[in-house]
A = this chain, B = another copy of it.
Amino acid sequence: MSSRPYFFPAERLRHFATETFLYFGVPQADAEQAADVLITADLRGIDSHGVARLHTYFDMLSLGRINPTPKIRIVRESPSTATVDGDNGLGLVVGPKANQIAMEKAERAGSGWVSVSNSNHYGIAGYYVLQALQRDMIGWAMTNSTKLVAPLWGAERMLGTNPIAIAFPGLEEPPIVIDLATSAAAYGKIEMARREGKSIPQGWIIDRYGHMSTNPQDMIEGGALLPLGSDRERGGHKGYALAAMVDILCCVLSGANWGPFAPPFALRQEIPSRSVGKGIGHFFGALKIEAFIEVEEFKRQIDEWIRTFRATRPAPGTQGVLIPGDPERQAEAIRSKEGIPLLPAVVEELEDIAQKTGIAL
């Protein structure tokens, strides 16, 4: 099978994704919202979280595993916090609503913090923090996900890749957008190496027995990703602790399924041995900059921060220091003009949806 990508205009994919959600009875505004999260991922170069996942949502909706018309509600709140039950809706719909609540709280109370249960995968964490930027807020977003990562010194999958995102607006400079998984490497990279028959760097995975491995096949056959830091010497306990932090804020605080009990995202994944809560969990935060400091003063200092860090003396053989968010912004600049490259396997999946639903691709 060829691996040369096909290029699609973002708007065409947006329309296709929206129609796919509408097909299952998702309300118009929610369908557009869900598609927006996916297309933003594709535009920003995070291919694993864009329309490449549409078929998985399609499967889950087809089987009634996700509620297309959830009644998302606040089950507890205070001036600056809320706990939200997503009613088993699409994470791509529940996430934006909960994030909205966090920002509204922040508007009035200076900050807003929302822990969400009973949700499903919500796309890229970066999407949510970009929303906050538009309101001169510092946005935070975290989520748990299906188990893939071993805690340090463990030999089995116990945690998701549990990302942390946060963003800071500049004045003349583009924003600093941090969006990182707490594992040493993304699962997608291991998949890719396996397809290409290549070995992977030490520190990415362990095999099913808990030994470090550079063979990507060992991950597929019951191994696990390692946390950021990889081993004890290089701080693998820190990556594990960060993943634990995300897990607890998203799930224990909201009443969702934490750790190894996170329900599977895709049909091929195993169902956990038991349930300890409802769905998967997210955690959103918003800090109103003006509650701390003049917004313009903050943004001017962020500009200065960015320029100072760009001017760091570069390490030999590198392109020098990047600012978090640079690669995604560069991807967006290119892809909004040239279209979104989709691998043949992804196009086939979209064609399968087109065939089953009658929606034109």
Which residues of A are at the interface with B, using a C-beta cutoff of 8 A?
Answer: 76-81, 83, 108-111, 113, 115, 138, 150-156, 158, 164, 166, 168, 176, 178, 180-185, 201, 203-204, 206, 209-211, 228-230, 233-235, 237-242, 244-245, 247-249, 252-255, 258-260, 276-277, 287-289, 291-293, 297-298, 301-302, 304-305, 308-309, 312-316, 318-322, 324
Assuming the A-B contacts A252-B305, A254-B292, A322-B237, are A315 and B111 also in contact, with contact meaning beta carbons closer than 8 angstroms in the complex?
no
Query: How often does this chain occur in the complex, in copies?
Result: 2
Q: Is the CB of B315 within 8 A of A206?
A: yes
Q: Is the CB of B316 within 8 A of A210?
A: yes
Chain B hits for A183, CB < 8 A: 235
A106 shortest CB reach to chain B, Å: 8
Q: Is the CB of B109 within 8 A of A234?
A: no
Q: Is the CB of A111 within 8 A of B80?
A: yes
Smallest CB-CB A-B distances: 5 pairs: A78-B110, A210-B315, A81-B110, A154-B312, A80-B80
Q: Is the CB of A115 within 8 A of B292?
A: yes
Q: 28 A–B contact pairs at CB < 8 A?
A: A77-B110, A77-B291, A78-B110, A80-B111, A80-B291, A81-B291, A83-B292, A115-B292, A115-B293, A138-B253, A153-B314, A153-B318, A153-B322, A154-B312, A154-B314, A154-B320, A156-B313, A158-B309, A168-B248, A182-B238, A209-B316, A210-B313, A211-B316, A244-B309, A248-B302, A252-B298, A253-B287, A253-B289
Q: Is the CB of A154 within 8 A of B313?
A: yes
Listed residue (A83, A242, A254, A255) with the most chain B CB atoms within 10 angstroms of its CB: A242
Q: Is the CB of A152 within 8 A of B229?
A: no
Assuming the A-B contacts A111-B111, A241-B178, are A313 and B155 also in contact, with contact meaning beta carbons closer than 8 angstroms in the complex?
yes
A316 to B302, CA, bound (A): 46
